[in-house]
Homo-oligomer: A and B are copies of this chain.
Amino acid sequence: MNVADRVDDFIPRLESAAGATETALDALLAPAGLEGEISRPARLLEAMRYATLGGGKRLRPFLVIEAARLFGVTGDGPLRTACALEMIHCYSLVHDDLPAMDDDDLRRGRPTAHKAFDEATAILAGDGLLTYAFDVLADPATHADPAVRAALVLALARAAGLGGMVGGQALDLAAETAGRPLTQDEILTLQAMKTGALLRFAVDAGAILGKADAAKARALSRYGSALGAAFQVADDILDAAGDTAALGKRAGKDAERGKATLVGLLGLDAARARRDSLVEEAIAALDETGLGAATGTLKEAARFVAWRNN
């Protein structure tokens, strides 16, 4: 491991992004409506706030904000984009937790949305957050150039939809009843869709906001893909190793449910080797952007994502 370019601003920057995102989400989800809205029903709004506020490391918002900063873009644009992405992430957790899906009662130590409210409200809160994400991106407050706003909407829709996150969740459910183990290729596709696509969008969004040239955008996108894959294999490793604290959710669930993971297929050692090589790949991709020392924080993010507590 190359430690020469390690930076010590990662944790402060992660925490600063989390704080800014929390404040911005709180303001976006205020009772006062926007132009064209008829009213914001109180209980639905409360459920959307419950699902969104007060939790998580805000890794995806951090990645948007840091990727945009590589191109000199700071302020409301990256922050609003971060909020939109976090709304998509949070809605997906609400829907995934539903009885008809993963049927989870707890999330980050709190009752899941359908437990704290009710199932119908949880479904609608998810739908509301999903819809609001695109509202936030398309609003002129996110960027003065409508081409940037439209590109953000298109990229997020594609990452989050049928051919991305939603499709990945469908594949995950199908795997549980397939009656045969998934192949490595199938697991990689599933994970790239279910968790990788949104993480990659986070850094792609930075390039879109910064109007990065195509070569830089492609390199950053490769970083996002490697980071997403590293994140998922690290998640599998933490689950298998039983590290509930580092995971932020109950460990051992994957094996219990017979979920397809790389650890199950390759074993723990090979999974760790793959994780480490994905970190190297992510760091190499950042070097290819030609943005030099500015990429140090994102390099540290790749290490952090991969090596949480193990």
Contact = CB atoms under 8 A, between A and B. Distances in A.
Nearest to A137: B153
Nearest to A102: B120
Contacts of A140: 150
Interface string A122-153: 01101110111011011110000111011101
A273 B66 CA distance: 59
Interface string A33-72: 1111111110111001000000000000000000000000
A36 B159 contact: yes
Interface stretch (A169-177, A280-288, A294-302): A169-177
B130 A170 contact: no
Nearest to A148: B146
A155 interface: yes
A19 interface: no
B155 A153 contact: no
A161 B158 CA distance: 19
Given A39-B163, A39-B193, A158-B36, A120 B135 contact: no
Contact of A166 (B131, B150, B157): B131
Residue from the set A37, A145, A162 with the largest chain B CB neighbour count within 10 Å: A162
Interface residues of A, number: 66
Contacts of A220: none
Nearest to A29: B162
A100 interface: yes
Contacts of A151: 138, 146
A20 B130 CA distance: 28
A243 interface: no
A252 interface: no
Interface string A85-121: 0000001000100101100000000000000001111
Residue from the set A154, A164, A192 with the largest chain B CB neighbour count within 10 Å: A154
Given A163-B33, A163-B37, A163-B40, A157 B138 contact: yes
A130 B128 contact: no
A69 to B, nearest CB: 24
Contact of A169 (B48, B124, B158): B124
A189 B33 CA distance: 14
A131 B174 contact: no
Contacts of A137: 153
A241 to B, nearest CB: 28
A245 B202 CA distance: 49
A18 interface: no
Contacts of A126: 127
Given A36-B159, A167-B39, A174-B43, A120 B101 contact: yes
21 contacts: A39-B167, A40-B163, A41-B167, A41-B170, A43-B170, A100-B119, A100-B123, A101-B120, A120-B173, A121-B173, A124-B169, A124-B170, A128-B162, A128-B167, A131-B157, A132-B162, A138-B150, A145-B146, A146-B147, A146-B151, A149-B153
